[in-house]
C-alpha cells in the first residue's frame, strides 16, 4: 500500500518484537511515522501467526534516481525498490547498533 511505502521511505528499518504482545494505546494525536517499534496491524499479526513467526525485522531497499542531483531533489526521486524481511519464531529485540548497521 502507498501509506506503507511512505513509511518505509521515512524510516528504513522497522521491527515487531512480539506480535503476540498486547498493544499499548497512545493518548492524543501522536505521529508514529518515525517510530521503529510499532504494533502490527491485525491482518499482519494474523499473517505472522500463520507463518509461525513472532518477531520480524524489515529493512527497506531504497534506490535514488539521479545521483548527481542535490540532496533535496534526490529525496524527491527516492523510491522503494523492495524489502528485506527477517522473521523469528520467538520474541526478539534488535539493539540499536545492529538496526543502525542495517540502514544501508
CATH, residue 42:
3.30.450.40
pTM of the model: 0.79
Element (H, E) at 60: strand 55-64
Number of domains within the chain: 1
Q: Are 8 and 60 in contact (CB under 8 A)?
A: yes
Mind listing the pLDDT tens digit for each residue in 12-63? 999 999 999 998 888 888 887 778 777 788 898 999 999 999 999 999 999 9
**Average per-residue pLDDT in the chain?**
86
3-state secondary structure 35-92: CCECCCCHHHHHHHHHHCCCEEEEEEEEEECCCCCCHHHHHHCEEEEEEEEEEECCCC
- Residue 64: give the domain boundaries: 2-101
Amino acid at each position: 500500500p502507498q501509506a506503507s511505502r511512505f513509511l518505509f521511505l521515512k524510516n528504513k528499518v522497522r521491527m515487531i518484537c512480539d506480535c503476540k504482545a498486547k498493544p499499548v494505546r497512545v493518548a492524543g494525536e501522536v505521529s508514529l511515522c518515525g517510530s521503529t517499534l510499532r504494533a502490527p496491524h491485525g491482518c499482519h499479526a494474523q499473517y505472522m501467526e500463520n507463518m509461525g513467526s513472532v518477531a520480524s525485522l524489515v529493512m527497506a531497499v531504497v534506490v535514488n534516481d539521479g545521483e548527481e542531483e542535490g540532496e533535496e531533489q534526490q529525496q524527491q526521486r527516492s523510491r522503494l525498490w523492495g524489502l528485506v524481511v527477517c522473521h523469528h519464531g520467538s520474541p526478539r529485540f534488535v539493539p540499536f547498533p545492529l538496526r543502525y548497521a542495517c540502514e544501508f
